[in-house]
Amino acid sequence: MFPDYAALCARTDGPPGSSWGLFGPDDDLGMLNFLTPQCAVAAAALVTTGEVFDLDYPLNTFVPSLAGTRPATRHTIFANNPNHRDDWVDSFYLQSTSQIDGLRHIRHPVAGFYNGVADAEIVEGAPRLGIQHVAEHGIVGRGVLLDMPRLFAAQGREMAHNQAFTPADLDAAARLHGVRFTSGDILLVHTGWAQWYLGLSTEERASRRRGSPGLHQSHEMLGWLWDHRFSLVAADNSGLEAIPVAPDSGFHLPDEPPPERGPSHNGMMHRQLLALLGLLLGELWKLSALAEACARDGRYEFLLTAKPLNLVGGVGSPPNAMAVK
């Protein structure tokens, strides 16, 4: 029996609001531990039509880089003889398109990396918190999709370009879709952002308003995610969370200087989700076709699999994710 989030916030044997130690002192998986073999067996029973949905965008879909720090991947094909082909890639940034953020991705500015792993262990080739642990465990379970544009349309509400979804919004979407959550679920939040962004011209992308819809930053949201025992949460936007961040969340550190390059994570829940709770995050997943299929058949649950790269010490990876209805 695991404590609820309120109890985590009151703990004195570890950082408040953390799950450190609950899965063991040497744990490298965090909330992925909720995804058990029993979850996989139950999810397999959801397959009725065999229709498969690829949830990864092709590499280099989001070029120029949304983060501003990840050049395009370069693919080269070579031949040793006329009947042979081989290939390699250069400048392969593992979190440049559809991705899973591993537990190495973000540290908490006070507590550090998940489960107390020392900064010195977060280096190339070292195993602690590496994405290879996720690859070896595998991600096979029940996926559930919450279609936020359809919720807002059903409620007669306009969804802002940077709409922050609250736990009440997510609960309302679950009710609309007839979804009841179970421990180990893989939560997909369809915002429509990626499809919208990819429909823009190059000029429109350059001049677009900064921001995207996503999860609202709050302790209430952290509690909602932990108390539902999700094993992974993914969305089709660039950071899972709403951007710009909520100014009154309490997560913003006013004295933290901005980074010299790339986006600032100051005020984002990534620090609490990854480093304190140990929740794997997915970003830029391709969800629109799956959302359409769920709307057609009225089933917002499905078998979901994902297999990140087995790279020892990797920080993140393309998800190689599929949904099967």
Cα maximum dimension of the chain: 67
Q: What is the full per-residue pLDDT of the chain (325 aa) written as tens digits?
A: 899 999 999 999 999 999 999 999 999 999 999 999 999 999 999 999 999 999 999 999 998 777 777 889 999 999 999 999 999 999 999 999 999 999 999 999 999 999 999 999 999 999 999 999 999 999 999 999 999 999 999 999 999 999 999 999 999 999 999 999 999 999 999 999 999 999 998 878 776 667 899 999 999 999 999 999 999 999 999 999 999 999 899 999 988 898 888 788 988 999 999 999 999 999 999 999 999 999 999 999 999 999 999 999 999 999 999 999 9
Residue type, 154: A
Element (H, E) at 289: helix 288-297
What is the pLDDT, as a whole number, of residue 183?
98
Residue position matching structure tokens 């010195």: 120
Using alpha carbons, list the distances in angstroms from residue 62 to 69, 74, 126. 12, 14, 30
Q: Please, what is the end-to-end C-alpha distance for the chain in angstroms?
A: 31
CA dihedral 305, 308, 312, 316 (to 10 degrees): -130
- Bond prior to 319 in cis (omega within 30° of 0): no
Structure confidence at residue 188 (pLDDT): 99
Phi, psi of 116 (to 5 degrees): 80, 15
Q: Which residues does 323 contact at the CB level (< 8 Å), separation at least 6?
A: 52, 53, 55, 143, 290, 302, 303, 304
> How far is the C-alpha of 307 from the C-alpha of 100, rounded, in Å?
10
Per-residue pLDDT at 116: 98
Q: Would you state the pLDDT for residue 202?
A: 81
So what's the pLDDT on residue 86? 97
E strand spans, the chain: 52-54, 74-78, 86-90, 99-101, 139-147, 164-165, 186-190, 214-215, 232-235, 280-283, 301-306, 316-317, 322-324
Question: Which DSSP string corresponds to 87-117?
Answer: EEEES--TTSSSEEE-TTS--BTTTBSGGG-
Query: Tell me, what's the pLDDT at 228?
Result: 98
For every residue of 127-174, DSSP letters joined together read: -TT-THHHHHH-EEEEEEEEEHHHHHHHTT-PPPTT-EE-HHHHHHHH
- Tell the burial category of 209 from Cβ atoms under 10 Å away from its Cβ (0-12, 13-18, 19+): exposed
- SS3 percent helix, strand, coil of the chain, rounded to 5, is 25, 20, 55
For residue 284, what pLDDT is reported? 97
Sign of CA dihedral 149, 154, 160, 164: negative
Residue 257, class by beta-carbon neighbours within 10 Å (0-12 exposed, 13-18 middle, 19+ buried)?
exposed
